[in-house]
Amino acid sequence: MHCPSCSCVDTKVIDSRESEEGAAIRRRRSCTDCGYRFTTYERLENQPLFVIKRDGSRQPFDRAKVSAGIQAAVKGRPVEDIDIMAMVERIEDKLRLVGGDVTTSDVGHSVLDELRATDEVAYMRFASVYKNFDDAADFRRNLRCCRSVRPAPNARGGSARTQSLRR
């Protein structure tokens, strides 16, 4: 198993556990060279994770895209890169546990859950651009869930409101 960060071939398993009710084994690995940590799954059949977009198209889950979305939301906030990597991993784990395909809405909700637990400002920024995950209805529902923010007068339009959230 090559390290996805430095391509070193020497990685070690630091944790191993069953997931999906025993249908898969999840392994946490650490690169012995650069220390990068990542997760692998062992299954009877290789099952790539697909995301169904609102227009019905199906795309492979894109870790980099999720990471970029989180990075944009946490810009200038006290969130380290290593925290972002951990968030992306937990999101992927969670989505894989759903089994089968997931939707862009599932991805968006998972990101919101992670951000809510990490940084409130980043959470609100992401919620404000949630339309990029194609689900305005879910965006509004999430906005209402957050008690510290006034309801947006034009939330229906889903326009980005990061300016008003800046501290």
> What residues line the site for Zn ion (CB under 5 A)?
3, 5-6, 8, 31, 33-34, 36
**Tokens coding 71:** 């990075």
Burial status of residue 28 (CB atoms within 10 A of its CB: 0-12, 13-18, 19 or more)? middle
Q: Is 86 helix (H, G, I), strand (E, B) or coil?
A: helix
CA–CA separation, 49 and 144 (whole Å): 30
Q: Which is nearer to Zn ion, 19 or 39 (CB)?
A: 39
Q: Which is nearer to Zn ion, 14 or 145 (CB)?
A: 14
Shortest Cβ 158–Zn ion spacing (Å):
40
Name beta bridge partners: 12. Answer: 30
Q: Which of 20, 161, 49 is nearest to 110 (CA)?
A: 49
Shortest Cβ 10–Zn ion spacing (Å):
9
Shortest Cβ 7–Zn ion spacing (Å):
7
Q: Which is nearer to Zn ion, 10 or 15 (CB)?
A: 10
Q: Which is nearer to Zn ion, 82 or 117 (CB)?
A: 82
Question: 7 phi and psi, to 5 degrees?
Answer: 70, 10
Question: 93 phi and psi, to 5 degrees?
Answer: -55, -50
Q: Which of 18, 21, 38 is nearest to 99 (CA)?
A: 21
Shortest Cβ 8–Zn ion spacing (Å):
4
Residue type, 12: K
Q: Which is nearer to Zn ion, 15 or 18 (CB)?
A: 15
Shortest Cβ 37–Zn ion spacing (Å):
9
